[in-house]
Each structure stands twice: as C-alpha cells, then as structure tokens.
C-alpha cells in the first residue's frame, strides 16, 4: 500500500509491506470466527441452503405445514382454512402439529374449529402470531413467514447462546450443537415451536446472568414469552426463578446463603410472577372465549415412562427402540454422569440442577407416547442438549477442560441428522 507524505515541502512515497495487510486480515478473520455471530451465520447458511434445495426439488411452503385431511375438513367456517385438491396432504390423515400453528396464524378467530385441542394449541400464541405479523395478516403469506420465523429464530438463538458461552469462557461454536440438533431440524421442517422457544430461553438465561441491574425483570419478561411459546418452558422459568433464592447470580449454593433472604425471596417472587402469571391469565381468557372448563396439559398416555418403558419392552427391542436407546438415552446417561460428578465436586449450580431435572422429565418420567413416536422424542431431547450446553463451563472445571463426554454425546445426537440428510428419511412423511 502506498501513502504520499510531505516533509519539508517534498512529496515522498511510503510503501507498507504487504505482509502487514495480510496479517491484519488474518487477525480480523480469526477475531470474527471467535465471535458468536459466526456460528449464527453458519446455522443460517446451512438451513438456508437446505430450504433452497427443498424448493428447488419442487416442494412448496405449504408442504412444511403438513396438513392432514382429518382436521382441515372439520368445519367450513373459515374462508381461509379450506381443503384444496392441489395440495399434498399427509397420508395418515391426522397431519403434523405444525398445521395447527398455521391455522391459528392464518385465521385466529376460526382456527379453533380445525384444531384437536383448541385450548392447548391457543396457549402457544407467540410463534403463530409472529408469523402472522410478518405476513401482515395475509393468509397466503403465512406458510412462508412460519418458515422465516423459525429460520431467523435458529440464527438468533445460536447467536445468543453463543454469546452466553463466550461470556462463560467457552467457544461460541458449541451453540451449533443445538442449532443442528435433530429436534431443531425437525421443528424447522414441520413448522413447530422449538426454534423460537430455545431462542427465547437462551435470551432469558443470558439476561439473568449478564443483564445488569434490571436482569430479573428483563429475563422474566423473556421467559414469559417462552412459556407462551411452548408449555415445557414452564420448568425452565420455575428453576431459574427459584435459583434467585440463592445468593449468587448463578444460583450457586454457598456459605451464608441465608443472608438477605428477604430480598432474595422478593426477587424470586417478582421473577416467577412476571414469567408465569401471563400464561395463567391467557389461559383464563381462552377458557372463556373457547367455552372450555379445563386446562389442557397435553395428550394422555401411560404413567410408565422413560427407562422403565425401555426395560419393560426390552424383549421386543427393534429398530425404533434401539435408535432411541443409542441416540437419546445413551447421551442422556453421559450427561447425567457428568452432572453427578459436578455435584460431587461441589458445583451446586442452577445449570447442573436444571440438567438433572430436564433429564428426569425428558427421559425418565416422560409420557410413554413419546417413545412410540421417535420424532416427538427428539423434539423433547432438545431440552437436554440446551441444558447440557449451559453446563459446559462447569463441567470444564470438573474435567480440566477435557470434553470427551460432550464429543460422545453430541456425535450421537447429530448422527441422526447426518443419516437423515443422506437418506432423505426426515424430509416428509408419505403423502396422499
């Protein structure tokens, strides 16, 4: 690079070594790679290419809704939600859960007549109403904005989770494990709520740890949105809210934790009220509008759950059960061992407690209907992956920075996506 200088009235030319520029460029590139934006853009690029490939091979945005004939023909009240012969419908007739978010986004007033459990579905308004907002209320655009909402949520969630990991002394690239997890992949492919939910949970956790003076209020507000996105976020909000009873911002049990207990009770109460009360109010309003008297909690199933179900059906283990054992139960057991090791080493932190609670809820006591639907189970397993990533900085202290546990667990989790990308088994179910 040449630069003209004037000294004593004489023009002189100074040439900078090209090596300095290349070194500066290399440093800038390396600095960018270490920022949370880099894995976020990587996730955005991956899914953008995948969606481009899907559209290039003849798929349409409505295919991701996966409607079934059973529900779209329930009523004729809506001028928007109609059975059309030029659409492809799932052969099972029931369709995917994503169709219900499409119905709510396309026609909020009349969607109730096309939904299996109206109260249960309407309790999750954030995702469909965000898509409706992006579509400016135009029903024809909703299939596209449902995809756009999830695509942006994956990128945003990766950026926020990566920022949390970086602030905790860990590479932000580990956030890609959740971004590329089979549950996230499936949710994007079927217009489900997980990408938006985990983006909000990541933001809530980040604000609670690093949000400054107003961290309790801002974090609780974000958790409230997460609860209104997916019901299982209630557990995350409750655990982080209760962690405020402990003296440290990270919820670490320490000596003198009874000091200032009144102030901590107040903060925890404020957090839990802000995070959970809006969902209760919304439920009561929906009950009056929909004329129902009970609070839907999801599908009913057997009380026998998780590992008990696997052991009970051990003699009949075939492909699906083996797949669940290898790609979900085994990495879950690895995470459980690490959590117990951390507790043994005195790491009594909220992240470790969260991981254990999620493991019990997701793999041990979960409704057995999930074990009969592998795709449903991998959606639930995203909670384990998210909680495990929050624990990486803690587990690094336990293991001295060795992450063999993480590489083993993540390789088993992500192997599902790799296999399905190669075989196409995850694209779409059979069409009628």
Q: What is the pLDDT of residues 82-96, one digit of tens each?
A: 877 566 666 667 788
Lowest pLDDT segment from 6-15, 44-53, 237-246 = 6-15
Using CA atoms, how far apart are residues 150 and 136, in angstroms rounded to an integer?
A: 17
Contact indicator for 40, 155 with CB cutoff of 8 Å = yes
Using CA atoms, how far apart are residues 242 and 246, in angstroms rounded to an integer?
A: 8
Tell me how far apart the terminal alpha carbons of the chain are, to the nearest angstrom. Answer: 65
Max CA distance (Å), the chain: 94
Q: Is the pLDDT of residue 294 over 90?
A: no
* Mean pLDDT for all residues in the chain: 83
Give the contacts of 215 (CB within 8 A, at least 6 positions apart): 207, 208, 209, 249
Lowest pLDDT segment from 107-116, 254-263, 360-369 = 254-263
Lowest pLDDT segment from 213-222, 249-258, 350-359, 366-375 = 249-258
Contact indicator for 99, 72 with CB cutoff of 8 Å = yes
Q: How many helices (H) and strands (E) does the chain have?
A: 20, 2
Using CA atoms, how far apart are residues 162 and 309, in angstroms rounded to an integer?
A: 35
100: nearest Cα among 127, 76, 77 = 127
H or E, element range at 2: strand 2-7
What's the predicted TM-score (pTM) here? 0.85
Question: Helices 194-210 and 126-134 meet at what angle, rounded to 10?
Answer: 100
Using CA atoms, how far apart are residues 246 and 258, in angstroms rounded to an integer?
A: 8
Q: Is the pLDDT of residue 39 over 90?
A: yes
C-alpha Rg value of the chain to the nearest Å: 24
């Amino acid at each position: 690079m040449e630069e003209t200088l004037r000294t004593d009235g004489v023009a002189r030319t100074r040439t900078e070594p090209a090596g300095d520029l290349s070194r500066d460029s290399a440093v800038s590139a390396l600095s960018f790679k270490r920022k949370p934006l880099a894995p976020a853009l990587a996730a955005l690029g991956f899914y953008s290419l995948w969606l481009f490939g899907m559209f290039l091979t003849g798929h349409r945005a409505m295919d991701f809704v996966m409607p079934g004939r059973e529900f779209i023909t329930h009523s004729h009240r809506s001028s928007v939600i109609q059975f059309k012969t030029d659409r492809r419908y799932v052969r099972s007739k029931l369709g995917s859960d994503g169709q219900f978010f499409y119905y709510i986004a396309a026609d909020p007033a009349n969607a109730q007549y096309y939904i299996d459990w109206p109260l249960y579905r309407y309790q999750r308004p954030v995702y469909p109403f965000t898509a409706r907002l992006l579509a400016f209320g135009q029903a024809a655009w909703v299939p596209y904005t449902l995809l756009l909402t999830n695509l942006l949520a994956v990128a945003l969630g990766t950026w926020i989770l990566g920022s949390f990991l970086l602030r905790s002394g860990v590479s932000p690239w580990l956030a890609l494990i959740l971004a590329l997890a089979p549950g996230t992949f499936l949710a994007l492919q079927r217009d489900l709520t997980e990408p938006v939910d985990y983006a909000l949970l990541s933001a809530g956790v980040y604000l609670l740890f690093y949000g400054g003076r107003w961290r309790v209020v801002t974090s609780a507000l974000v958790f409230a949105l997460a609860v209104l996105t997916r019901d299982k976020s209630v557990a995350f909000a409750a655990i982080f809210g209760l962690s405020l009873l402990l003296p440290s911002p990270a919820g670490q049990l320490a000596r003198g934790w009874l000091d200032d207990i009144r102030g901590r009770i107040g903060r925890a109460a404020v957090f839990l009220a802000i995070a959970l009360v809006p969902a209760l109010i919304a439920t009561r309003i929906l009950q009056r509008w929909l004329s129902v008297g009970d609070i839907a909690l999801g599908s009913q199933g057997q009380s026998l759950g998780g590992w008990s179900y696997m052991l009970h059906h051990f003699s009949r283990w075939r492909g699906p059960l083996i797949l669940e054992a290898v790609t979900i139960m085994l990495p879950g057991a690895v995470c459980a061992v690490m959590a117990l090791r951390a507790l043994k080493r005195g790491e009594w932190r909220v992240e470790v407690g969260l991981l254990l609670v999620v493991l019990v809820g997701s793999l041990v006591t979960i409704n057995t209907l999930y074990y009969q639907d592998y795709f449903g189970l991998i959606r639930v397993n995203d909670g384990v992956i998210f909680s495990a990533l929050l624990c990486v900085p803690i587990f690094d202290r336990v293991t001295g920075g060795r992450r063999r546990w993480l590489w083993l667990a993540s390789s088993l989790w992500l192997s599902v996506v790799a296999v399905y990308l190669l075989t196409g088994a995850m694209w779409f179910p059979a069409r009628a």
